């Protein structure tokens, strides 16, 4: 895992999250989404992960993350609405530095998303990327579903 910075918003303070520290010593399932509050993410994809968070942890993931390409305040607001119990940790990649490093950006002008993140699922074990699944379209949920995640456990 390259050294990159994501952002968390804790008590209204911006907190830099270094990926080398974030992934050290943990088996992580990271779900990357094209945008907070987008219909597919909000109505289908994230609810599935939140509902299955306990199963994913039981399968061996010590850390469940969602990374969105939005401002930290947007990501935090979305996290509070979609996951009020805090089963998943939501982080901001508002500068797109994380997804650019991995070639995971796309343009979705027809949905007025502009440049955004592709939908992806990354399995990381102690800082080593074990698997990366990337959807063909940002509206697809095929290889990034909870079932796919459980196969990677």
- Tokens 């901001």 correspond to 92
User: 85: buried, middle or exposed (CB in 10 Å: 19+, 13-18, 0-12)?
Assistant: exposed
CA atoms within 13 A on the CB side of 38: 23
- Tokens 């219909």 correspond to 39
Determine phi and psi for 82, rounding to 5 degrees. Answer: -90, -25
Q: Measuring CA to CA, which residue among 97, 134, 101, 129 is closest to residue 119?
A: 134
- Residue 41 falls in the annotated catalytic set: yes
Catalytic-labelled residue, pool 41, 66, 116, 143: 41
Distances (CA, A) of 63 to 34, 100, 114: 21, 23, 30
Active-site residues, by number, are 41
């Amino acid at each position: 895992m390259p050294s990159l910075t994501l952002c968390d918003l804790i008590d209204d303070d911006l907190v830099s999250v270094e990926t080398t520290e974030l992934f050290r010593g943990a088996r992580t399932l990271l779900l990357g989404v094209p945008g907070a509050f987008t219909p597919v993410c909000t109505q289908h994809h994230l609810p599935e992960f939140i509902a299955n968070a306990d199963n994913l942890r039981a399968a061996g993931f010590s850390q469940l993350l969602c990374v969105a390409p939005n401002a930290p305040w947007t990501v935090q607001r979305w996290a509070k609405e979609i996951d009020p119990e805090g089963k998943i940790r939501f982080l901001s990649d508002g500068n797109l530095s994380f997804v650019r490093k991995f070639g995971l950006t796309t343009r979705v002008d027809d949905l007025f998303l502009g440049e955004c993140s592709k939908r992806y699922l990354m399995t990381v074990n102690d800082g080593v990327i074990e698997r990366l699944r990337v959807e063909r379209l940002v509206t697809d949920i095929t290889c990034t579903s909870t079932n796919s995640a459980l196969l990677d456990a």
